[in-house]
Amino acid sequence: MSKRTPNLAPGMVQLTLPLSSLPSQKLKAGSLRTSETVKEALRQALRSCGLSRETVADELTRLTGENVSIHQINNWTSTAKEDRSIPLEQLAALTIVTGDAGLARAALECSGWSVLAPEQHAYYELGRMTAEDRTRHRKKRDLLERIKA
């Protein structure tokens, strides 16, 4: 390692953003705390999927390539173990194995983002296309009015 400081371009200074300009500053402290909600969503997904936790653990291990034990799943769902959160890498596999997107919904709910199930995606695409058509129609109408004038 060289102890020499890098030669930065003269006159170049890195500016920092004031914290008040961050979008997250509008939110109350702790307003994105979702640990209890996410744990409850996982418990509900495990109950409703009809699979044993051992089967879910085996399938998570198979899908992600990471060793997941029944004890880890028990820790993820335990309200007493607040320090054991569900790794984000397991979210897709948990959603597929349980067939329930409630876990992702619970994690994102307070941020204003939403999660669509595959069968809802067609409705979203149709709505997006309709909105694009309306925008195009407005632009076309404005252009025709300019041509007439």
pLDDT category at 97 given cuts 50, 70, 90 is very high
Report, in angstroms and rounded to the nearest whole number, the Rg of the chain calculated over CA atoms: 24
Q: Which 3-state string (H, E, C) describes 5-56?
A: CCCCCCCCCCCCCCHHHCHHHHCCCCCCCCHHHHHHHHHHHHHHHCCCHHHH
Range with lowest mean pLDDT among 21-25, 34-38, 69-73, 126-130: 21-25
Q: How big, in percent rounded to 5, are the helix, strand and coil portions of the chain?
A: 65, 0, 35
* Mean per-residue pLDDT of the chain: 86
For the segment 52-81, the average pLDDT, to the nearest whole number, is: 93
On the question of pLDDT at 44 being above 80, the answer is yes
Give the span between the Cα atoms of 85 and 33, in whole angstroms: 12
pLDDT in tens, 113-123: 888 888 889 99
What is the reported pLDDT for 111?
85
pLDDT digits over 2-42, tens only? Answer: 677 666 666 666 767 665 677 777 777 877 777 888 899 99
Prediction pTM value: 0.66
